[in-house]
């Protein structure tokens, strides 16, 4: 089944303790992206990657890192989490390419709480 | 730069009555437009998309949307609401970056409430 898999689904952590949220897709998509969802703000893009070793900042990159060493994986790293990073996170992938009409496939989300 | 405005944060309807969720967009180029639905504690599911073909787009679960370039609108409709339609709906615009890849911009969402 074509899908984007995120882990973990739920995570509670303490301020300053490094964590990684994994994202993997099995569709050979070039484009991958991370979003955070907060009430009343919709989804905002954190980072995106157009292909292996090619990443760039989205709208809200502060406090996050990403890497794209393999095409299928796009982990989101919080080096020193803070309470304002408490949010619902979604990973998405797309064929990308030269058109803008490719649909995106979203993961099921990771609900992160930083205390 | 592209942007999306969903005009209502909440819409309440009775079961069996029509649904209208409003969305306006701005885009530098000819965009692609999407509607996604998110049920409680679930991920996002694509309802329908407009990609410069027919302006009236039919999606899953009886939803439709009409692209109106002159009004820069892409409103979502359904003739008769069902209880299972209660969810949050996101209007999304996809525009092409200089790299040739596209980026998504989400509206802030409209919560659809359906009463018996």
pLDDT at A96: 65
Average pLDDT on A88-93 reads 94
Burial class (CB in 10 A: 0-12, 13-18, 19+), A104: buried
DSSP 8-state symbol, A73: B
pLDDT digits (tens, 9 = 90+) for A41-67: 888 999 999 889 999 998 899 999 999
pLDDT digits (tens, 9 = 90+) for B101-115: 667 788 999 999 999
Q: Which phi and psi angles does B85 have, rounded to 5°?
A: -80, -10
CA distance A68 to A88: 21
Q: Which phi and psi angles does B83 have, rounded to 5°?
A: -55, -35
B-chain residues near A2 (CB < 8 A): none
Cα of B98 to nearest chain A Cα, Å: 10
pLDDT digits (tens, 9 = 90+) for B61-71: 999 999 998 99
Q: Check whether A99 has a pLDDT greater than 60.
A: no
Using alpha carbons, select from A36, A93, A40, A91 the residue that is nearest to residue A63: A36
Cα of B14 to nearest chain A Cα, Å: 24
Instruction: Give the tokens for residue A69.
Output: 């060493």
CA distance A6 to A106: 9
SS3 letters for A29-70? CCEEEEEEEECCCEEEEEEEEEECCEEEECCCCCCCEECCCC
Q: Cβ contact (<8 Å) for A100 and B106?
A: no
pLDDT at B95: 72
Q: A95 to chain B: nearest residue by CA?
A: B101
């Amino acid at each position: 089944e074509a899908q984007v898999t995120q882990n973990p689904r739920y995570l509670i952590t303490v301020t300053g303790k490094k964590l990684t949220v994994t994202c993997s897709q099995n569709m050979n998509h070039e484009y991958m992206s991370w979003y955070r969802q907060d009430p009343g703000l919709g989804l905002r893009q954190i980072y995106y990657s157009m292909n292996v070793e090619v990443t760039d900042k989205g709208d809200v990159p502060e406090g996050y890192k990403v890497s794209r060493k393999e095409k299928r994986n796009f982990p989101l790293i919080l080096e020193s989490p803070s309470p304002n990073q408490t949010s619902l996170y979604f990973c998405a992938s797309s064929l990308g390419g030269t058109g803008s009409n490719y649909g995106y496939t979203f993961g099921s989300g990771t609900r992160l709480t930083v205390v | 730069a592209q942007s999306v405005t969903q005009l209502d944060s909440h819409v309440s309807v009775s079961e069996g009555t029509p649904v209208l969720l409003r969305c306006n967009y701005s885009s530098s180029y000819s965009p692609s437009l999407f509607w996604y639905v998110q049920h409680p504690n679930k991920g996002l599911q694509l309802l329908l998309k407009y990609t410069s073909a027919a302006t009236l787009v039919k999606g899953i679960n009886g939803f439709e949307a009409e692209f109106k370039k002159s009004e820069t609108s892409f409103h979502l409709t359904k003739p008769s609401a069902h209880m299972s339609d209660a969810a949050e709906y996101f209007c999304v615009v996809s525009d092409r970056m200089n790299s040739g890849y596209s980026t998504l911009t989400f509206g802030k969402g409209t919560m659809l409430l359906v009463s018996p």
